[in-house]
C-alpha cells in the first residue's frame, strides 16, 4: 500500500482527551469488521480504514461455510504425495503459476517441511482451540446487527467419488475425531436420504456428514450488516489507503493514509492478503502469501441442496445461498498481480454437474479472491513483538469468514490487555 501524502497532513482526530482507547483497524473485511464490533461492544472507540468497501475482499463471493471441523491443516503427507501430480494437472484442486514459483519458494519450502503427521497433530490442537466456539462467537455480533437468520446450522456433507479418495482421507478423519469433531460416515446408498439433490448413488463411494457446521446465507451481506451495526454504534469506516505509520515512544501513534492522518492509542492490522507490506513497516515480516480462490454463483441453478456439499478430492464446496448456488474452491498460487485464470472457475460447474444432475449454469457469475495464507494453515493473531500497542490478525486462508468472529474476540482481548482464554503463541507473527 503506497501513497504520496506527507506527514504534515492535518490530523482529523479531535484533540479532546478520551477515557476509552481509540483503536484504528486497518482492514474492513470479515476479520476487521468483526474485531471492530467486538471492540466497540467492549467499550473502545474504533475506526476502520480500508481502500475498499466492507466485505469486498476475500469474503465477497466465497464458500460461506462456518464450522468447527477444519482442524486438519492443508499441509499433510497425503497432499505432499499428490502435489507433483496436481501441479501438472490443469484441473487439479491446486495449481501454481510457474512464473510465480521463485517468489513462492520460501513459503512452499515451509509448507513442505510441515507436511508430516507429527506437525499435523501439533497444528490440529491449535486449530481446535481457535475453531471451538467459532459459530457462537457470531452471536453478540448478530444480535447487535439484528441478523440472526443469516447464520444457518445445517451440517455439511463431504462427498467421495472414489474408494481411493475416501481411503486417503481416513487418517485426517482420525485426527478430526481425536480433536472432538463429530463426523458420521454415510454409505453411498444412503446419501440421497440425507441430501435428495444428489444424483444416483453409483456416482459416489461414500460421504462424511459433519453436523456441527453451518453456512452464511450471504457472505458479503453479513459483513455489510455488521458494518452497518458498527456505524450505528458510532464507529467510523473510511475508504482510505494506508501507506505508513507515525511511531512514538510506545509504538504507532498515528496511521497515515492517502487522505489524512489518524491518531490512535492501539493499532490492529487486519488487511488480509495486503497485510505483509504493512507488517514490514512495523518491523515484522510474516511468511504470508496468497491462495487465489475461485467461485461461480448460479442465480437459477434448478437444484437446491439442503446443506453445503463439499469434495476434498476436487477441493470444492457447493453452498445454497440466498442468491442461488455458490460453487467455490480450488487453490491457485500466483500472488496478487497475475490475471485470473477463469478456466478454474468454469471447472467448478463441471464438478457440480457430476453431483447434481440438471444443475443450470446459465447466468453464472465468476469471481476470484485472495485468501491470505500461512504455510502451516495457522493464522497470525499476535501482538507485535516490537510494539505493545499493535496487534496483527491475518493469514486465515480459506477460513477467514469462518474464523472472523472468533478472531475478533481474540483481537479484542489482546488489544485491551485481557486474558485470551486460549494459548495464542502458535499464532505469533514471528514463528517462522
In 3D, which of 160, 128, 186 has the Cα closest to residue 377?
A: 128
Continuous H helices in 114-161: 117-131, 139-145
Tell me the CB-side half-sphere exposure of residue 145, using CA atoms within 13 A: 25
Is domain 77-115+152-212+290-373 classified as CATH 3.40.50.300? Answer: no
pLDDT tens, residue order, the chain (432 aa): 434 333 333 343 333 344 689 999 999 999 999 999 999 999 999 999 999 999 999 999 999 999 999 999 999 998 888 878 777 776 788 888 889 999 999 999 999 999 999 999 999 999 999 999 999 999 999 999 999 999 999 999 999 999 999 999 999 999 999 999 999 999 999 999 999 999 999 999 999 999 999 999 999 999 999 999 999 999 999 999 999 999 999 899 999 999 999 999 999 999 999 999 999 999 999 999 999 999 999 999 999 999 999 999 999 999 999 999 999 998 899 999 999 999 999 999 999 999 998 899 999 999 999 999 999 999 999 999 999 999 999 999 999 999 999 999 999 999 999 999 999 999 999 999
Max Cα-Cα span within the chain: 70
In 3D, which of 415, 366, 373 has the Cα closest to residue 398?
A: 373
As to burial, measured by CB atoms within 10 angstroms (0-12 exposed, 13-18 middle, 19+ buried), residue 322 is exposed
Q: Which long-range contacts (CB under 8 A, 24 or more apart) does 422-426 make?
A: 422/129, 422/130, 423/126, 423/129, 424/381, 424/382, 426/123, 426/126, 426/378
pTM: 0.93
What are the sequence ranges of the domains in the chain?
Answer: 77-115+152-212+290-373
Amino acid at each position: 500500500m503506497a501513497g504520496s501524502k506527507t506527514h504534515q497532513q492535518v490530523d482529523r482526530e479531535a484533540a479532546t482527551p478520551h477515557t476509552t482507547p481509540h483503536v484504528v483497524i486497518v482492514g474492513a473485511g470479515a476479520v476487521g469488521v468483526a474485531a471492530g464490533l467486538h471492540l466497540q461492544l467492549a467499550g473502545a472507540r474504533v475506526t476502520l480504514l480500508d481502500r475498499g468497501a466492507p466485505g469486498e475482499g476475500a469474503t465477497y463471493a466465497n464458500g460461506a461455510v462456518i464450522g468447527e471441523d477444519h482442524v486438519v491443516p492443508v499441509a499433510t503427507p497425503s497432499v505432499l504425495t499428490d502435489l507433483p501430480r496436481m501441479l501438472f494437472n490443469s484441473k487439479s484442486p491446486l495449481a501454481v503459476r510457474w512464473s510465480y514459483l521463485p517468489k513462492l519458494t520460501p513459503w512452499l519450502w515451509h509448507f513442505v517441511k510441515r507436511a508430516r503427521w507429527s506437525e499435523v497433530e501439533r497444528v490440529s490442537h491449535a486449530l481446535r482451540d481457535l475453531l471451538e466456539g467459532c459459530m457462537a462467537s457470531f452471536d453478540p455480533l448478530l444480535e447487535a446487527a439484528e441478523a440472526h437468520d443469516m447464520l444457518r446450522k445445517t451440517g455439511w456433507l463431504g462427498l467421495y467419488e472414489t474408494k481411493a479418495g475416501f481411503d486417503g482421507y481416513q487418517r485426517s478423519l482420525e485426527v478430526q475425531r481425536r480433536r472432538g469433531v463429530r463426523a458420521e460416515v454415510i454409505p453411498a446408498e444412503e446419501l440421497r436420504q440425507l441430501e435428495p439433490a444428489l444424483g444416483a448413488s453409483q456416482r459416489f463411494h461414500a460421504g462424511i456428514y459433519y453436523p456441527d457446521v453451518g453456512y452464511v446465507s450471504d457472505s458479503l451481506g453479513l459483513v455489510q450488516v455488521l458494518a452497518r451495526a458498527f456505524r450505528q454504534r458510532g464507529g467510523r469506516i473510511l475508504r482510505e489507503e494506508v501507506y505508513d505509520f507515525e511511531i512514538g515512544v510506545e509504538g504507532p501513534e498515528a496511521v497515515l493514509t492517502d487522505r489524512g492522518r489518524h491518531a490512535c492509542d492501539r493499532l490492529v492490522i487486519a488487511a488480509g492478503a495486503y497485510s505483509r507490506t504493512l507488517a514490514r513497516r512495523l518491523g515484522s515480516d510474516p511468511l504470508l502469501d496468497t491462495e487465489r480462490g475461485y467461485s461461480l454463483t448460479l442465480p437459477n441453478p434448478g437444484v437446491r441442496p439442503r446443506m453445503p456439499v463439499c469434495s476434498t478430492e476436487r477441493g470444492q464446496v457447493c453452498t445454497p445461498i440466498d442468491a442461488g448456488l455458490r460453487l467455490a474452491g480450488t487453490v491457485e498460487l500466483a500472488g496478487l498481480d497475475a490475471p485470473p485464470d477463469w478456466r478454474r472457475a468454469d471447472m467448478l460447474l463441471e464438478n457440480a454437474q457430476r453431483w447434481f444432475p440438471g444443475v443450470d449454469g446459465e447466468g453464472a457469475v465468476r469471481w476470484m479472491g485472495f485468501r491470505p495464507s500461512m504455510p502451516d494453515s495457522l493464522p497470525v493473531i499476535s501482538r507485535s513483538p516490537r510494539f505493545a500497542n499493535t496487534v496483527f490478525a491475518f493469514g486465515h486462508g480459506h477460513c477467514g469468514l469462518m474464523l472472523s468472529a472468533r478472531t475478533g474476540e481474540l483481537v479484542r482481548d489482546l488489544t485491551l490487555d485481557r486474558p485470551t482464554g486460549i494459548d495464542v503463541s502458535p499464532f505469533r507473527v514471528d514463528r517462522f
